[in-house]
């Protein structure tokens, strides 16, 4: 079978934005320390275009990647965007240098950054705008309320959250509809299991970041290594296949700057994980 992200099936974010469930995360397309442009800018552009050729329709980015660099690369590579491509970006983290991260979700900052993202991406409306982190210094009503205002103004279509618990999702939904949650989740780290179950039960998209982390499970002779050898794929591919089977609400966004890794990741969408292998990995 020809590798295609479409083999993973689809999910309608917010009920009206259908995407192939295997997406692409853009953080690794920036320079060292997630700062500045990559050494091979033309290569990054080619990689994004190749992702579309392979059926990827969901691209996740953030204003803090670069900062602004990943968004600009998406515009350079894909604008005007194909009708089926959905861009999700995030706000709420600040940058002061390579590998240096801060936080700011004050209303004025969110409003300034939405204009920057719209400009960087070449969009009049951002399909999915995610709060990268809830800012503990700012009332939640002000943070989500600002996103709700931007939605009413037509600058964003849907609102998402990142790295939150179930109670925080419910609290945010008192101020505006939330359609997605992006949390750390992978085969080796399932601390957000309750959030995933909540997302699936309520129709939210669950976007696992760091989806390829496998820890000791991928070590020589480990359960993931053994299953991968048996199936004839790599441990990373099997980890992605496990995520895709784990829940129909799951939208993994593996990122890479390598064309070969992109091809390998997309090929994971075609892997049919047996009941026995799925069960064995799920109990680790």
What is the C-alpha separation between 242 and 121, in angstroms, rounded?
Answer: 32
Report the residue count for the chain. Answer: 284
Helices (H), 134-252: 140-152, 166-172, 193-202, 223-231, 235-246
Report whether 141 contacts 105 (CB < 8 A): no
State both tokens at 274: 């047996």
Q: What share of the chain is helix, strand, coil (3-state, %, to 5)?
A: 40, 20, 40
Q: Where are the beta strands (DSSP E) in the chain?
A: 10-13, 17-20, 24-25, 58-60, 86-91, 93-97, 100-103, 126-131, 156-162, 180-184, 205-209
Which helix (H) or strand (E) segment holds residue 65: the answer is none
Report whether 101 contacts 113 (CB < 8 A): no
What is the set of active-site residues?
65
Question: Which of 115, 90, 118 lies closest to 104 in space, CA to CA?
Answer: 90
What is the C-alpha separation between 145 and 139, in angstroms, rounded?
Answer: 10
Report whether 228 contacts 235 (CB < 8 A): yes
Question: Which of 70, 57, 40, 51 lies closest to 264 in space, CA to CA?
Answer: 51
Q: How many helices (H) and strands (E) does the chain have?
A: 10, 11
């Amino acid at each position: 079978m020809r590798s295609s992200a479409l083999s993973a099936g689809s999910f309608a974010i917010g009920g009206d934005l259908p995407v192939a469930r295997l997406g692409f995360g853009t953080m690794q397309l920036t320079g060292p320390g997630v700062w500045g442009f990559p050494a091979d800018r033309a290569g990054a552009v080619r990689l994004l275009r190749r992702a579309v050729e392979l059926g990827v329709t969901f691209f996740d980015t953030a204003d803090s990647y670069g900062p602004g660099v990943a968004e600009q690369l998406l515009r350079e590579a894909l604008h005007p965007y194909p009708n089926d491509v959905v861009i999700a970006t995030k706000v709420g983290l600040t940058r002061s240098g390579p590998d240096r991260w801060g936080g700011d979700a004050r209303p004025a900052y969110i409003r300034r950054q939405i204009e920057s993202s719209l400009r960087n991406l070449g969009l009049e409306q951002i399909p999915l705008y995610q709060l990268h982190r809830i800012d503990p210094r700012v009332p939640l009503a002000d943070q989500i309320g600002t996103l709700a205002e931007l939605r009413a103004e037509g600058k964003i279509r849907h609102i998402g959250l990142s790295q939150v618990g179930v109670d925080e999702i419910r609290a945010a939904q008192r101020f505006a509809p939330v359609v997605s949650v992006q949390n750390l989740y992978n085969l080796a780290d399932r601390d957000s299991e309750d959030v995933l179950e909540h997302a699936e039960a309520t129709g939210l998209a669950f976007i696992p970041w760091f989806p390829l982390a496998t820890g000791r499970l991928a070590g020589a002779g480990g359960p993931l290594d053994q299953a991968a050898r048996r199936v004839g794929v790599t441990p990373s591919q099997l980890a992605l296949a496990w995520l895709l089977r784990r829940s129909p609400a799951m939208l993994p966004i593996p990122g890479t700057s390598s064309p070969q890794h992109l091809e390998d990741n997309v090929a994971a969408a075609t892997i049919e994980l047996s009941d026995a292998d799925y069960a064995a990995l799920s109990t680790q």
